[in-house]
Structure 1
Amino acid sequence: TVCPSEVARAVGEGDWRSRMEPVREAARRLVARGVLDIVQGGRVVDPSTVRGPIRLRLRS
């Protein structure tokens, strides 16, 4: 799994916080395509309602 902030930091140097929403949007698109799961506390969660820290996981 990976934290969305890790993805934002890996995309480029500088202000990673400004990249957080684009990373979340991309993650939601990948969930809709069946590529990723968004997990919280080890459980798959609904990306439209989740609050708090999440992790991204490739769907198996």
Structure 2
Amino acid sequence: MGEETDARLEATILDLLSRRAPGATICPSDAARAVGPEDGWRDLMEPTRRAAQRLVDAGEVDVTQGGEVVDLATARGPVRIRRR
């Protein structure tokens, strides 16, 4: 996985969110499935979380758990991504 995949994941997260209503969320697996092969998208889950963190750092998105904004570095379990 390289810079090209990282850029595709970031762009895919933003694209998926742009297709949703304001305040709606996506699961990181939605982006991983869109970028990865049908049988290999799980390998993209950690890179997708890192892409989401870069977008958080850029002020583009928030990562939530149970509807509350969380720090992705310390969040355990399923998270969601939404536009900031």
Q: TM-score when scaled to structure 1?
A: 0.91
**Aligned equivalents of 1:12, 1:25: Cα separation in 2:** 15
Per the alignment, residue 52 of structure 1 pairs with 77
Q: Which amino acid aligns with 2:70?
A: V
Letter in 2 for 1:8: A
Q: CA deviation at 1:27?
A: 0.3
The Cα shift of 1:13 comes to 2.5
Dislocated runs of 4+, deviation >4 Å? none
Deviates most, 9-18 or 29-38: 9-18
TM-score normalised to structure 2 length: 0.67
Q: Greater helix share, 1 or 2?
A: 2
Measured against aligned partners, the alpha-carbon deviations of 1:37-60 in whole angstroms (never above 9, x if no partner) come to 00000000011111011000010x
2: CA distance, partners of 1:12 / 1:18? 8
Q: Which runs of 5+ in 1 are unaligned?
A: none
- Counting matched residue pairs gives 59
SS of match in other structure, 2:29: helix
Bigger relative contact order (CA 8 A; separation at least 6): 1
Secondary structure of 1:23 counterpart: helix
